[in-house]
Amino acid sequence: MLAGVAREAAPMATIVHHDLDVPLGFLPDASQDGVVCALVIHHLSDRPRFLSEVRRILRPGGWFVLSSTHPTADWGYFGGSYFDERWVTRSFGEATMEYQLMTMSTLLNEVADAGFVLERLVEPQPVEALRMIDAEQFDKWSSAPIFVALRAHVAG
Ligand SMILES: C[S@@+](CC[C@H](N)C(=O)[O-])C[C@H]1O[C@@H](n2cnc3c(N)ncnc32)[C@H](O)[C@@H]1O
Per-residue confidence band for 1, with pLDDT thresholds at 50, 70 and 90: confident
Kindly tell me if the per-residue pLDDT of 2 is higher than 90.
no
Q: What is residue 148's predicted lDDT score, i.e. its pLDDT? A: 98
Atom 11 of ligand 1, residue of closest alpha carbon: 40
* Pairing label, strands 116-122, 147-154: antiparallel
**Number of other residues whose CB lies within 10 A of the CB of residue 90:** 13
Kindly tell me if the per-residue pLDDT of 156 is higher than 80.
no
Average pLDDT over residues 141-150: 96
pLDDT in tens, 27-54: 999 999 999 999 999 999 999 999 999 9
Q: Which domains does the chain have, with CATH numbers?
A: 34-154 (3.40.50.150)
Site to substitute for ligand 1 among 26, 43, 53, most atoms within 8 A of C-beta:
43
Q: If DSSP codes are grouped into helix, strand and coil, which group holds residue 10? A: coil
What gap in Å lies between CA 73 and CA 119, rounded to an integer?
23
Instruction: Give me ligand 1 centre to Cα 123, in Å.
Output: 20
Q: What is residue 31's predicted lDDT score, i.e. its pLDDT? A: 97
